[in-house]
Structure 1
Amino acid sequence: MRTFLFCTSFLFYAAFVSGSLFSESISPNFTASYYQFIDNKGAFLLSRNNGTFEVAIFNPGGQTNFYLCVIHVASGTIIWSANADAPISSSGKMDLTVHGISIADEDGSLKWSTPPLRSPVHALHLTEMGNLVLLDQFNGSLWESFHFPTDTIVIGQRLPEGAMLSSAVSTNNLSTGDYRLAITDSDAILQWKGQAYWKLSMDDRAYTNANYVVEYMAINRTGLFLFSHNGSAVVIQMSLSPSDFRIAQLDASGHFIIRRFSGSDGEQEFVGPINGCQIPLVCGRIGLCVAAQSNGPTCSCPQGFHEVSQNSSGCVPSGSSLPLACYSTKNGSQLNSSALSYSMLGFGMDYFAIDFSEPVRYGVNLSVCQEFCTSDCSCLAIFYDNSSGSCYALENDLGSIISSTTYEDDMLGYIKVIVGAPSDVHNTYSSQSQQFPVIALVLLPFTGLLLMVVLGFLWWRRRKVSNREIKLGHASSLSSGDLDSFYIPGLPQRFDLEELEVATDNFKTQIGSGGFGAVYKGTLPDKSVVAVKKITSLGVQGKKEFCTEIAVIGSIHHVNLVKLRGFCAQGRQRLLVYEYMNRGSLDKTLFGSGPVLEWQERFEIALGTARGLAYLHTGCEQKIIHCDVKPENILLHDQFQAKISDFGLSKLLSPEQSSLFTTMRGTRGYLAPEWLTNSAISEKTDVYSFGMVLLELVSGRKNCSTRTQSHSMDNSNSGGGQSTSSSGSGVVYFPLLALDMHEQGRYMELADPRLEGRVTSEEVEKLVRVALCCVHEEPSWRPNMVNVVGMLEGSIPLGQPRVESLNFLRFYGRRFAEASMIKEENGQSDFMLFPQANDSTTTTTSESHVCFSYISSQQISGPR
């Protein structure tokens, strides 16, 4: 026994002298210091086998502060630190005892230790994943570094709901900084001093799969995920390229960054937020941030402010000072409001936290908003939405201001400033009041005349509005003033009918029409171009009900959804004001006689539309089923960016209603079979319609049409497909032809011939297979839109269409051929067996439309 103890002591002494690295585990009564393992740069413990991670007493950047760290060896990345807020000197030590780990400085003062443990420690173990674990004698875990994350997580680590990552002050100072990544029960949120500035769910690269409660966040070989149901359900996912090792870190700058590693080389895969101006202190306090295309954000000061110093720590108002949050005078009383004023930031300003916070007041004027801030000592600034009357308060801490390139939000910013002592204000008022009698004698007559003119104008305008309502036949209906008698949070800007008549030149230029009414081009006083839709067939009649739905629609923001600028509910008139899409609707571009859409443009339109629908189905507070997805409702902006219009007008569904709703109607040619069989309507109905639109993007023509001119395919190349797809010369039901060609692997015969070979068979196959999966007769076999986006992006494998659920297309094909022959026998150029009022399809010379609204619910099933 004595020999064994002697050998053990000798080995420990040899290790202490030489400072050799230990592999995987060490036992209690172990002490380590930086100097003891200086040859290994403070490292004393390696993970097993490949030594991916090490434990070291380390001084990042060669500073004088030392920390107990777990380090990724190849990249030098610190993935965890024990004493981040209590560094030690180079002579400080770490002790491992049966009670746990303790870190003390050279004078013996305790800086950090593990909490009390339930059992004595048997070993300190570093796993291959980088987890530092204290084990008992049965190898049970007593404490793990993974349970106390700092600013980083790695593959194999979970960040549970309620936990957070905290940034370091800098790469060399590991003390806790001001940025947090918090995991809530529904999202992952970046915060600065309690103010949110980014959410994972709002990033274009992330997709919401389910509305379950989030249990934890993790990264793995395929991406970043928020999991529920103990990992069996994905709430939010962000797919990345497969990698065996990656790190997710909340950087000291406030960015959440994911990097993948191959050896020592790290590649940045993801950064959020991608817009540098969204980082709260990117330009210091009240610094003005302008997003640049290449060299990152540029900083300056708003008008009326100047730089504090040359180190860009922020800006201060010229000629006045900034109050502190909940400031007080020497005797403890709050400063008199007369000493406060507001410095306007100018137009086109924004603040990083506005999109993530609720207004403190709704539907108020600017003076009420300022009065609220004046009375609250924690309020340092306000942002006021001039269109909705929403008042946002910025409290306790101020970050950078964002310069917006668009004025569509109509947001005004005001910084609270101290303009002088109350006595100065009083003296100024006294000196001015002495001049009142002389000024009054001169100004009173002019004031009285001006007041009479204003009152006369108001009487004339009121009489004119009343006359218009009588002419419109609704003299007994609610007046426009009644709209103010109820309160709806978040209501978009309300326009008067007179304003929109002026903007549209009395509805002179019609640019489209659809199921809910005609659309006119207009120009608002701020020179912005808008599209004004006159609602003619909306089921909601009451003003309050109409405005309630508009408030919900106006609160939905996504890059692939047309933005609602405002509305008008006056008398019986219902109008919606949308952002103007300068390239018009997809049907005019795709089926018109203009330049042909290139394949990449078609693909981007398909992907953008899919993302917009995925957001409506899963990203909104209330699930929204569009119910009328078609090319006419897909609008195009610059660079052919696709945006979905008319969403939310059909019906807003709660989760409980979504499986019971069966009363809506869409447009022929895009209707899912469940419409006509009185089956339950769900978001899978939109998936079917999207699949039909996808086929039209492939072929460049309507699915429900006959081909008589240049758009016809060469029937000799159709093989067996033509016999089942059509009958009669030039008659093709394209979805069935797509199924036939898919079965034969002849995808190129489906591509728009106008592309003249500027597309590959693999590219066509991708869209055709996705489309056929979307149009399965059985709704449960259709993918959801989140998975459709994944298939288009390539992050998940392409689905395999099920022929047994596509046989109904053969029945459709026969009925289409029969209808076409009836058309030819009657000598009609465009024969509609059952026209619907809400179809705005425009017939071209190369196409005439025959669709299937006449098919009965008994006929729809067809062969199975």
Structure 2
Amino acid sequence: MGSLLFFLSVVLSCYLVSGQPSSEFVYPNFTATNFRFIDSAGSFLFSRNGSFKAAISNPGAQQTNFYLCIIHVASNTITWSANRDAPISNSGKMSLTSSGINITDQDGNFKWSTPPLRSSVSALILTETGNLVLLDQSNGSLWESFHYPTDTIVISQHLVVGTSLSSALSNDDLSTGNYSLAITASDAILQWQGLTYWKLSMDTKAYSNSNYAVEYMAINQTGLYLVGRDGSVVVIQVNLSPSDFRIAKLDHIGQFVVSSFSGSDWTQDYVGPVDECQIGNICGKVGLCGYSAGSDDPSCTCPPEFSANSQNTSGCSPSEVSYTLPVACNSSRNNSDSNSSPVSYLKLDYGMAYFANDFTSPVKYGINLSVCQELCSGDCSCLGIFFENSSGSCYVLENVLGSIKSSSTTDSVLLGFIKTLVGSSPTNIGGSDFNSKTVEFPTIALVLLPFTGFILLVALGFFLWRKSRVSRVGEVKSGRGTSPSSGDLDAFSIPGLPIRFDYEELETATDNFKTHIGSGGFGAVYKGILPDKTLVAVKKITNVGVQGKKDFCTEIAVIGNIHHVNLVKLRGFCAQGRQRLLVYEYMNRGSLDRTLFGSGPVLEWQERIEIALGTARGLAYLHSGCDQKIIHCDVKPENILLQDHFQAKISDFGLSKLLTPEQSSLFTTMRGTRGYLAPEWLTSSAISEKTDVYSFGMVLLEIVSGRKNCSLPTQSHSIGDDSSGGGHSSASSGLGLIYFPLFALEMHEQGKYLELADPRLGGRVTGEEVEKLVRIALCCVHEEPAMRPNMVTVVGMLEGEIPLGQPRMEALNFLRFYGRRFTEASMIEENHGQDNVILYPQANASLANGRSSWHTSFSYISSQEVSGPR
């Protein structure tokens, strides 16, 4: 009996040690360890033709960390790993059960598993493309490794919008590193610790078509592509030499590399960024990256007043032992937890740049260096600043510090300062000694700033005088006796013009403009009835410069030819003498603001969804469905009109083209409405369709809450009420304005979405439904236009055809600044006791060294004036 047991134990041990790999399929109740399949280097499953294998493998020469991997056989390259952040030993076990894949260590402790599945597993297959797939009894896919990429994608794999690649720590350690490649609706971007340092669209080898939204990234035998419109449109492409097998990988140093394999060699087809010094942490914290003469490889040194870390960590630290680099607090822009030690700043030389500055906006414009340093000194999340003398732009380095790069293009533009904590001998506190650690704010600026302000005041006064003069000269009390014959349009013919009305016809239709139904930046709107009993809305344009008839009619022909179910139809026009009138279809439920913010019946949640979707479809058509792209420039509830069954239609589209060049330049910050203006309006940046996307996001937040984004607590239902005596949101003050977008951001961070829903809905909406609209809205209001989705993508997300985007906190931090400004504005309003007055930032259109500046001065403007020309 003893000999029999010994024989069985020997047979069993031999079986365990020499397990045989399977071809293509394995089935539930299968287990694998590296030790069991040691003869095949841990491989237990091969694709049909042997191109890929699945193995419990240890990359490199190390013998401690083993992973469930997919490996390209010919090149022995890992293309995917399961338990990258939970390695096991060679005795750790992978088990396939009817519930999925489970990985445990040698003691049976859980390490990794596939997510819950909709039905039982019947088989595990490794496809010839390198995709590990769990199948149900009908051979349907339950789970695929392609849907959970790590640091690599292969041919036939799609990296969809909202997903990303994450670098490994090293070639031997597959743990998730700090670099990521994210796919957005418009680009592929590389980030370190959430800070962008490269975009595919910026590469000279990339060819772009920005008219469509990106849906996924893919590689094939001939190139790298960002693809949209269900795979039918290439948005960005990089052409590559033909190859039967290639991979795209985010390597551990932070470069995105596309490589092809042929024979026994890898060939690097594409790399981004080419300049390794652009990579966020290439030389460690405050390490200086540069190139020596004649060398293509970067070298790492330390800036003046810094030396290599004495610890076994990369990067540099202050040479002066009494100085130390601070550690950022956890909450961004948290002033209450500032470091208690005295603060000093170590100056970087000119020609030293920070990788993230090209992809972020200054936190302040038009200030001096002392103010910029004070902002950082009082903020525990701030670790350094870069300052631009000419425009007074202040860039803040928050939460993490990466590498510094040498850059000849930044000579005399940006000057950097690294924040330090002072020990026993504090000097240069607050940046007072600019000769040794900082630089003085130039004396010439103190002379030029008042002079520039005087010139701007003179220009504004001239404009107002000219406007009043034109208004007086252009007044016409009626169309009779003062306007030329209607035949004055017969001298030219413009294809596509809608019906032309005489002024007298419209005067009669509106009963001498008796019933006023609305007003806006371009003038008042009156209800009218045409002779055929059709109801119309007649807009009497008064707030633009009088254009020549041909120019006016050319623009009206463009607007009149636009037809979409979610756009208000232009039925006709009048251009007689100096009169300019537009005739629209009548919308019997009025504008969205009256329904949403009024005291009538509350809009139900599904009605709000339909309004949001209709508005999004209308904007998507204006941006990408018309022969000529049209940017609305003033998307707000007042310009969203409702018909029966709450069908939404956008009005006033295309009217911004009626502004004269003089008005366009002088009213840059006034085209649009307070609360809906995108940041690029205020910085003289280029205006694009993404400006409308921002405004739509703000409208979407109002649709969710049923209240204005910035309003007094007494004007609508309260926000963040805490009857239990809890804390108050930083989005509001107890006395003044409430800035709802910041409150929405805070509730998103906490996952408390129901706090944002209109309380009048009385629980008739779920947190998941609110989350959907809030996430879409926050993606729309990203500070950088390129990070916002286009309206086609927004429609897809609202319809559920495209996965929801993930709002990026680094692109939404500006809302905290806006929230503080609105709070300050409300307090000043309280102190001045003025009715209906707000504080509003004024734009300065001056340019310096290619950068726009926005001086954070404030002036009083009545809320009726803010809408301005649209």
Q: TM-score, normalised by structure 2?
A: 0.48
Q: Return the TM-score normalized by structure 1.
A: 0.48
- Which structure: larger Rg? 1
Q: Which has the higher contact order (CA 8 A, sep 6+)?
A: 2
